[in-house]
Amino acid sequence: MSIKKAKVGFVALVVAASSFVAITSATTANAAATSQWCKGVKIAAFPGGPQGGVFANNVYNGYVQAAKDLGPTMKYYFSDWDSAKLVTQMKEAVATKPNGMAIYGFGGPEATGPIVDDAFKKGIIVTSLNSELTALQSKYAARGFGYVGAELYKAGNDLAKKVISNASLKSGDSVFVWGLKGAAGDRAQRTVGVIDGFEKAGLKVVYQEIDQATNTTPASGGPTYAGLMAKNSSVKAVVTDHGGLTATAATYMKAANQKPGDVYFAGFDLSPAAVTAIESGYLNLIIDQQPFLQGYLPILQICLTKKFGFSGLSVNTSGGFVDKTNVAIAKPLAIKEIR
């Protein structure tokens, strides 16, 4: 299944990188050792959300593991999924003169572009994760700007199609999408992909933008969900375009006096709470974009560029779907916030 393939792909990438370093070390006098060969490199890393939060913590764990394996010195900036805060923190990071920065794209290209331009002028390698900055990647790919994450529109569209199939939805049925269509840059495209997938199948979409309070603290959205369900009792399926909200499925449904199976609930990202919600029946389906890799691989990218001049790599981490039939396979690592 795709989860196993994703693990194999990750191992292969790390082994390949290690093999390259080993070969270089064997053929170059006093070359970097294969253990902690990136020691001395300073990296500013952005986990995205609040410290300890769903998804952000998996990315953070990926950063931490990469630092242990490769040896760079790390500084972390938690942005609470707030684009303005992210942009401010990026400016602060550039001022500290790191060797590299691993950033999210949800700050948007207009606000992020000048900061990235300034960083590269100062010799700072920048690479992105989770949401693309395509123009910047094209501009600086030769200097190490890569992308690790899902193809966002496709991921959203694929999830909508899977929900339609699994929930046996038909034209005219109502679905609720709680998303980030108004988000800056490419981040909005995942929500757009979900909506397009439903509307092309003739479904009626009830849409609600995720407000900043719920974005940062998902449990605070309980009254919003309950109110929408009360006004739209014909809704047969729900998609939340946010790992934190998806993990809160049981809380939302209980707030609306819904039992498992009253609606087909789907969303994004594996987490301990999402595993529990799947096992209890409140959450039916997630698409797993493997956030640990979105932390680990950008650090590897920066180190490879800094030490060996590699150009930017593009890695699609959206590995597959998880539901009640296969959640047990991922559960042990999900509990550790690695998967």
Mean predicted confidence (pLDDT) in 217-244: 97
Q: What percent of the chain has pLDDT over 70?
A: 90
Q: What is the mean pLDDT of the chain?
A: 91
* Distance between CA atoms of residues 192 and 239, nearest Å: 12
Whose tokens are 């998902």? That residue is 218
Which of 3.60.150.10, 3.40.50.2300, 1.10.10.10, 3.40.50.1440 is the CATH number of 152-288?
A: 3.40.50.2300
Mean predicted confidence (pLDDT) in 169-187: 94
* Distance between CA atoms of residues 23 and 259, nearest Å: 58
Which tokens is 216 given?
């940062």
Quick one: pLDDT at residue 35? 82
Residue pLDDT, tens place only, 247-286: 999 999 999 999 999 999 999 999 999 999 999 999 999 9
* Distance between CA atoms of residues 84 and 90, nearest Å: 10
Which tokens is 73 given?
């010195």
More confident site: 155 or 319:
155
* Distance between CA atoms of residues 240 and 267, nearest Å: 5
Read off φ and ψ for residue 177, nearest 5 degrees.
-115, 120
Quick one: pLDDT at residue 301? 98
Task: Say whether pLDDT at 176 is over 80.
Answer: yes
Quick one: pLDDT at residue 18? 45
Per-residue DSSP letter, 242 = S
Burial class (CB in 10 A: 0-12, 13-18, 19+), 201: middle
Residue pLDDT, tens place only, 49-89: 999 998 999 999 999 999 999 999 999 999 999 999 999 99
Q: By mean pLDDT, which of 32-41, 54-63, 302-311, 330-339 is the weakest?
A: 32-41
The CATH classification number of 2-150+290-318 equals 3.40.50.2300
Quick one: pLDDT at residue 34? 59
* Distance between CA atoms of residues 227 and 289, nearest Å: 30
How distant is the alpha carbon of residue 328 from its chain centre?
A: 22
How do strand 174-179 and strand 125-129 relate by DSSP bridges? unpaired
Residue pLDDT, tens place only, 115-170: 999 999 999 999 999 999 999 999 999 999 999 999 999 999 999 999 999 999 99
Task: Say whether pLDDT at 2 is over 60.
Answer: no
Q: Same CATH topology for 2-150+290-318 and 152-288?
A: yes
Strands (DSSP E) contained in 130-284 are 147-149, 174-179, 204-209, 235-240, 264-268
Quick one: pLDDT at residue 192? 97
Residue pLDDT, tens place only, 182-208: 987 889 999 999 999 999 999 999 999
Question: pTM for the complete prediction?
Answer: 0.85
Residue 92 burial (CB count, 10 A): 12
> Per-domain residue ranges for the chain?
2-150+290-318, 152-288
